Amino acid sequence: MLAKKEELEKYLVAALRHSMEVHYYLVALNLHSLNRIHDLEGLNNKFEIDVALRLALGFKNGNAETEFKQEIKIGKELHRKQKHHQILKTSNDDINRYNESLVDAICAAREERSYHKKRTWDEILKHIESELPEKRLKDLVIDLIKKMQRIAEPDVSSITNLKNFPNIGLKENLYKRFRARCAEALEVFHKELGLLLF
């Protein structure tokens, strides 16, 4: 097995926090609601065993990003096949199709990750602007960041495991879907790998 139980648990909590935060901001910004749970459903989602065991290596103590660079890269490449990661590479007349991807990128930039520190709003703006291919996307990011700065931040630190976690401000039906998805993922890890997590 690639990652150990402790690393996998840290990773799964980080993935859940990120996904719930993306939904929190999409709802607060009154943007489209997704047909699936961001990052955690669909092919190559972050709870899939092949993706999770590789990305969880980033939570190893020490120099994980260097020591396990190839495995982590494979995990990232698998997950980035999801549609919301591909959309920024396309040109589309409907600018609203980019909202999920941009809110996702903004939330990811605000998180402490093994390969980058938590960024300020100004650092996020500079980073994302340099990465975006089109001026209209840059304008959309600037607008999204200004709006997100005015929204009360969700308490994602209160999410500490996948069995029992609070609702950070989502609609009740979406929160229940998160609970069901987490239970399903934990069952797969137990069935497939014999792991009792959390």
| Cα–Cα distances in angstroms (integers) from residue 68 to residues 60, 79, 113, 121, in the given order | 9, 17, 15, 30
179: pLDDT confidence band, cut at 50, 70 and 90? very high
For residue 26, the cross-strand partners are none
pLDDT reported for residue 116:
59
Ranges of H-type helices in the chain: 5-28, 49-55, 64-67, 69-79, 83-86, 99-110, 121-131, 135-149, 172-193
What confidence tens digit (pLDDT) does each residue in 140-176 have? 888 999 999 999 999 999 999 999 999 999 999 999 9
Q: Which residue has the higher pLDDT, 110 or 98?
A: 110
196: pLDDT confidence band, cut at 50, 70 and 90? very high
* Pick from 102-111, 166-175, 177-186: least confident: 102-111
Give domain limits for the chain: 5-193
Measure the CA dihedral 5/6/11/17, to 10°. Answer: 120
Residue 48: how many CA atoms within 13 Å on its side-chain side?
16
What confidence tens digit (pLDDT) does each residue in 43-58 have? 889 999 999 999 999 8
Over range 124-151, report the average pLDDT: 83
